[in-house]
Structure 1
């Protein structure tokens, strides 16, 4: 029997590694299965942004006017840094998991909390927002702050997008870890892809009141109640206080496990759409108070929609990068994506509880390039994150920081790109001072993309030269065409740069 291409469906091979191995051995020649775009790991299809659709994780999503995901971001999907052994994010996740496994066990000695760390980051807009009671006009839904595949599908902005489906499956206590995606500024503490871990625990009236004197006379709910700063309208005050106490005690034990027995903790009241009352936990670390997580009593409407309306629960969420940066003294969030052996080898330890202090790499002199441009009449459609995505798409992680240094009511603005060269910078004697002129008749974003590409290319050129260093300054300005046409002409000059 001849096994042809139709015998090897990509979807099945992708999700069934044992089947893939078996079929590769059966097929004459033992070569790879005839599936397209297999990744370097052999198990993940490479994402593709087509003209009309986006192919991601074995599925195709139609593009529309809301699509704003970039190839740079799409390439990050599927790495699962939190599951890569000896990665610092894996170490933090495993330390948290080990604490919950050892501290909270069921009646049969099994862990009370289940762990879910491999859920797809592609979710519906309804999952990401509506299931968490986030209003339709809430600012966090903005296209400028999220990565949309289309109007109905996106990359999750928080792991809470899976809360309802896990509660609906019958789980009362679980931990959830994964990568999340948000359009954000460019600096050492922000990155458009980061990792969260959250926990949820639900209580029946028996579980909550069984160890309370007179608990048989208490109730989870009350009729005709009203919402106050301390509770929701349907909850009894006694039940909420018990849930709140359990939540704070659980998290205090967690940070004591992570930071040591002498850690100082304080609670700050705050507001989240999916919990009430809500709190932020801060710990005192090296003399400063730092926020480490947010938490609260889950909104009862959320539990009702998940089929658990007869229970009360708490939820918390924390950033794995933030904890790792504090505990391991990692100064830049972009290092978590490094494959440099000098970084990775520092976290190969036999015991996940081993204290680690990151030893930084060699530093190089910083340099800055500036780009300025005016905005079109539809300036209200332009956000800072639009420009950040353009810079990131061209310069990648070579651009360490982008900051707004000037703006004007015309409207126009000027941004400064900063970085550190891996090699010596360009020689003014070699390149001289040359002008750059870019003309574009497309949309504003295409014009801005061209300008950003030119500026970032000049910026990147400094990473590939071996000449004595200088500190160039690039200014790109958008001016009206002298001929009187409405199409902008992008003009600029670069001292010590190459003529593109």
Structure 2
């Protein structure tokens, strides 16, 4: 499922401001597997090769090599990595479910959007949000891009998909343009119920009884079905939906209890370790489930959003060739869970190869709170500029293409979007940029021109930056803003 944004409460819990984005260092060892081809004149040809697969690019192309070169890392499969340990902990609560951990991240817009019922004008299709190789090919923005294909194979009643996903975003310590999600689904075959002489609801309730019970306080005040807020799907019976919802909620409560029990055992905060765990279900909306819910947990004094879930839209199953199946799905962010589990304060650390970070985690040992390195000093620098003449931005995957050259990240004269500033900061500065935030903007009363001022926080995770290094990065950042966005520096 496409995961809802991390709540402001959780940002505060992780010691970061409530906005979006962050990035990693240059991945030079991997660049060979993700390269643009050039002809003898030095002009880029319209194709890109990623791990031996070649794609023709067009005017939708907005994916820099720094993003493509992250693909081979697959952090969620590296032994003793905190994301791998977190994934394995969750997988252990779903015995018998088929797991998929190596699905390729480049997919079609049909897989990423159309198969899930995203409308053509959905904001998720925008080039400001999504990395495109061409008008019909993207880096997946969620693990749900593989949901319909996995349903179509019809190989197991339950499955889990864990994968790296990609979204253009702002920069801070809680977000990254490459992060990791887990998707889970459980379906039942109506034909099996008929064969056993049971109703489908009876078959599902039998499975509910097999889920481990817990003693955690759960708040679930709303009815499973509400005609306006959480409607019953056409063709679904109310008793079947009640049974599916019960199985979904009991299954995910079991996961959350396991995660937060592990987190409590790892924390050094005596009050937090003794605080009783509380869970609540909140009505939600997702385009590919109905009814839908988010699960929240009361942790260290705040309610934290953990995951999204719901009853799979029957049209997805019908279009996948399994109309006889009904069931539920959920999605969660692995970094989100691992940061809570281990107390990791900065999402960039997951990409670190520093032994001082990786040496603190082991799949064979109980989780322990992360011990931070000495924090190196920050270096703040501002950049102010006038925007060029404005024009409308556009969305892809079905809309008309933007007037850009293939391979460019942004376009002079195109509609301004903050994510373009963040993307340039990532390309120039890599992991050295910790935070970029808008500090001032105004419109000139006479000319109508719009001015923006951003404050950039440069901080290396492993050593102290010299002032000359920070000045050089900032000068390159300023030049790229002019070259790629057409702004006028102030």
Q: Where on the TM-score scale, by shorter chain, does this alignment land: which range?
A: 0.7 to 0.9
Indicate the residue corresponding to 2:20 in structure 1.
Answer: none
TM-score (norm 1): 0.72
Partner of residue 69 from structure 1, selected from 39, 63, 68: 63
1:117-160 deviation per Cα after TM superposition (whole angstroms, max 9, x unaligned): 00000000110000001111111111100100110101000000
| SS in structure 2 at match of 1:292 | strand
Give the distance between the partners of 1:437 and 1:121, measured in 2 at CA: 31
Give the distance between the partners of 2:477 and 2:378, measured in 1 at CA: 27
Indicate the residue corresponding to 1:373 in structure 2.
Answer: 385
Indicate the residue corresponding to 2:354 in structure 1.
Answer: 340
Indicate the residue corresponding to 1:93 in structure 2.
Answer: 87
Partner of residue 467 from structure 2, selected from 423, 426, 434: 426
Higher relative contact order (CA 8 A, sep 6+): 2
| SS in structure 1 at match of 2:150 | helix
Q: Which runs of 5+ in 2 are unaligned?
A: 1-27, 38-43, 205-225, 263-275, 393-414, 444-448
Indicate the residue corresponding to 1:407 in structure 2.
Answer: 441
Indicate the residue corresponding to 1:325 in structure 2.
Answer: 339
Indicate the residue corresponding to 1:223 in structure 2.
Answer: none
Give the distance between the partners of 2:162 and 2:475, measured in 1 at CA: 47
1:171-228 deviation per Cα after TM superposition (whole angstroms, max 9, x unaligned): 321010000000011000010000001111111236679999x8489899xxxxx965
Larger Rg: 1
CA contact (8 A) 2:58 2:135 kept: yes
Q: Does 2:170 align with 1:185?
A: yes
Give the distance between the partners of 1:217 and 1:201, measured in 2 at CA: 14
Partner of residue 358 from structure 1, selected from 348, 354, 370: 370
Deviation of 1:310 (Å)? 1.5
Give the distance between the partners of 2:174 and 2:227, measured in 1 at CA: 37
1:225-282 deviation per Cα after TM superposition (whole angstroms, max 9, x unaligned): x965341122111111110010000000111111129521101111000001111111
Q: Does 2:109 align with 1:129?
A: no
In structure 2, do the counterparts of structure 1 residues 282 and 208 end up closer, same or farther at CA, with 3 Å as the change threshold?
A: farther
In structure 2, do the counterparts of structure 1 residues 255 and 216 end up closer, same or farther at CA, with 3 Å as the change threshold?
A: closer
Indicate the residue corresponding to 2:270 in structure 1.
Answer: none
Give the distance between the partners of 1:185 and 1:216, measured in 2 at CA: 46
Indicate the residue corresponding to 1:464 in structure 2.
Answer: none
In structure 2, do the counterparts of structure 1 residues 100 and 53 end up closer, same or farther at CA, with 3 Å as the change threshold?
A: same
TM-score (norm 2): 0.73
Give the distance between the partners of 1:331 and 1:411, measured in 2 at CA: 35
Deviation of 1:419 (Å)? 2.6
Deviation of 1:413 (Å)? 1.0
Query: Within 5 A, what are the aligned runs for 1:131-280?
Result: 131-171=115-155, 172-205=157-190, 215=199, 229-260=230-261, 262-280=276-294
Give the distance between the partners of 1:438 and 1:173, measured in 2 at CA: 47
In structure 2, do the counterparts of structure 1 residues 294 and 243 end up closer, same or farther at CA, with 3 Å as the change threshold?
A: same
Q: Does 2:311 align with 1:297?
A: yes
In structure 2, do the counterparts of structure 1 residues 310 and 361 end up closer, same or farther at CA, with 3 Å as the change threshold?
A: same
Q: Does 2:482 align with 1:447?
A: yes
Deviation of 1:54 (Å)? 1.0
Deviation of 1:71 (Å)? 1.4
| SS in structure 1 at match of 2:467 | coil
Give the distance between the partners of 2:242 and 2:180, measured in 1 at CA: 30
1:448-485 deviation per Cα after TM superposition (whole angstroms, max 9, x unaligned): 4499xxxxxxxxxxxxxxxxxxxxxxxxxx65xxxxxx
In structure 2, do the counterparts of structure 1 residues 189 and 217 end up closer, same or farther at CA, with 3 Å as the change threshold?
A: closer
Give the distance between the partners of 2:484 and 2:317, measured in 1 at CA: 45
Deviation of 1:423 (Å)? 2.2
Give the distance between the partners of 1:437 and 1:264, measured in 2 at CA: 49
Deviation of 1:165 (Å)? 0.6
Query: Within 5 A, what are the aligned runs for 1:452-463?
Result: none
Give the distance between the partners of 1:253 and 1:446, measured in 2 at CA: 48
Indicate the residue corresponding to 1:309 in structure 2.
Answer: 323
| SS in structure 1 at match of 2:92 | helix
Aligned-residue CA RMSD (Å) = 3.1
In structure 2, do the counterparts of structure 1 residues 247 and 125 end up closer, same or farther at CA, with 3 Å as the change threshold?
A: same
Indicate the residue corresponding to 1:475 in structure 2.
Answer: none
Q: Does 2:103 align with 1:119?
A: yes
